[in-house]
């Protein structure tokens, strides 16, 4: 006999761009929204009864409807507005999850001055939020950045590791260190300044990465996490995922050339995968 287990459904990759017009400038945002609902949907699975199902197309339209009246300036604020609307208008829903990615559009600098209505896409990193609320409960907000692609050409080593009969890796005292990091953080403050927190954390992460004398990805990851905690007292913990995107020294000996750490072959598969949470 079969029975229904945990289930949820929603709408994914709802694309939204928004212009907020001020007297002296425009603000521009580009968001991709993912909505998931949990609740009393059993009859739709087991009895072919859709009477408690909000169509996912309606969820898509709800994103645009809420955005039209929204005063939110951050993806965190908008995620909570959208989730509250869905909970308020759908009593069959017991829990909502809203995840948003934001592309980092920044003002174009023209003759040394930020232009009021022209923007340049930075990246490849995107800002992220995962907002979860159980009905009658408080919001749980996890902010972050995905695809923070950074690289340093020195002050990175890897020695002293386990060697056995299958080890071919040579110790390195001066290597390229590249990663495309995913970083998330959870708040201990009830009403943080989301934009300010993100700015301070991203600045601290990059500063620590640049200055760090790395003995391994693990070593740098922990100190980057510690720097984020120091920069943002309002967060409780941060989780960093840092794949080690390798640059392998090219063998130029068949061409009669030496290679004094000059020419490399970048690869991203396979790569090392390092992840940890750093908390207070």
Distance from C-alpha of 217 to C-alpha of 244, rounded to nearest angstrom: 7
Distance from C-alpha of 16 to C-alpha of 30, rounded to nearest angstrom: 6
Distance from C-alpha of 184 to C-alpha of 236, rounded to nearest angstrom: 11
Closest of 87, 63, 73 to residue 127, by C-alpha: 73
- Residue 207, both tokens: 């500063």
Q: List, as own/partner pairs, every contact residues 216-221 make where C-beta atoms lie below 8 angstroms and the sequence separation is at least 24, other chains included.
A: 216/157, 216/158, 217/177, 217/179, 217/242, 217/244, 217/272, 217/274, 218/274, 218/276, 220/156, 220/177, 221/274, 221/276
Catalytic residues: 11, 56, 246
Using the 8-state DSSP alphabet, how is residue 190 labeled?
S
Q: How far separated are the first and last CA of the chain, in Å rounded?
A: 47
42 three-class SS? helix
Could you tell me if 266 and 249 are in contact, meaning their C-beta atoms sit under 8 angstroms apart? no
Per DSSP, which regions of the chain are E strands?
Answer: 9-21, 26-39, 93-102, 105-110, 113-121, 126-134, 140-152, 177-187, 235-244, 247-249, 264-266, 272-279
């Amino acid at each position: 006999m079969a029975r229904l287990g945990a289930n949820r459904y929603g709408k994914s990759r709802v694309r939204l761009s928004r212009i907020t017009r001020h007297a002296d400038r425009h603000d521009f945002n580009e968001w991709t929204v993912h909505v998931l609902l949990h609740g009393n949907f059993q009859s739709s699975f087991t009895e072919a009864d859709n009477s408690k199902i909000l169509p996912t197309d309606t969820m898509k339209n709800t994103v645009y409807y809420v955005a039209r009246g929204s005063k939110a300036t951050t993806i965190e604020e908008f995620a909570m507005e959208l989730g509250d609307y869905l909970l308020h208008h759908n009593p069959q829903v017991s829990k909502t999850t809203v995840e948003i990615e934001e592309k980092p559009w920044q003002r174009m600098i023209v003759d040394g001055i930020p232009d009021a209505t022209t923007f340049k896409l930075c990246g490849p990193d995107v800002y992220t939020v995962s907002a979860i609320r159980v009905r009658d409960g408080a919001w749980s907000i996890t902010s972050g950045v995905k695809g923070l692609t950074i690289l340093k050409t020195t002050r990175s080593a890897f020695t002293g590791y386990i060697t056995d009969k299958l080890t071919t890796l040579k110790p390195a005292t001066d290597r390229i260190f590249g990663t495309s990091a995913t970083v998330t953080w959870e708040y201990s403050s009830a009403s943080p300044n989301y934009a300010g927190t993100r700015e301070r954390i991203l600045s601290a992460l990059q500063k620590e990465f640049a200055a760090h004398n790395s003995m391994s990805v693990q070593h740098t990851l922990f100190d980057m996490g510690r720097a984020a905690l120091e920069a943002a007292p309002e967060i409780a913990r941060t989780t960093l995922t840092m794949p080690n995107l390798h640059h392998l020294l090219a063998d130029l000996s068949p061409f009669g050339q030496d290679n004094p750490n000059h020419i490399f072959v970048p690869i991203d598969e396979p790569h090392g995968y390092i992840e940890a949470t750093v908390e207070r």
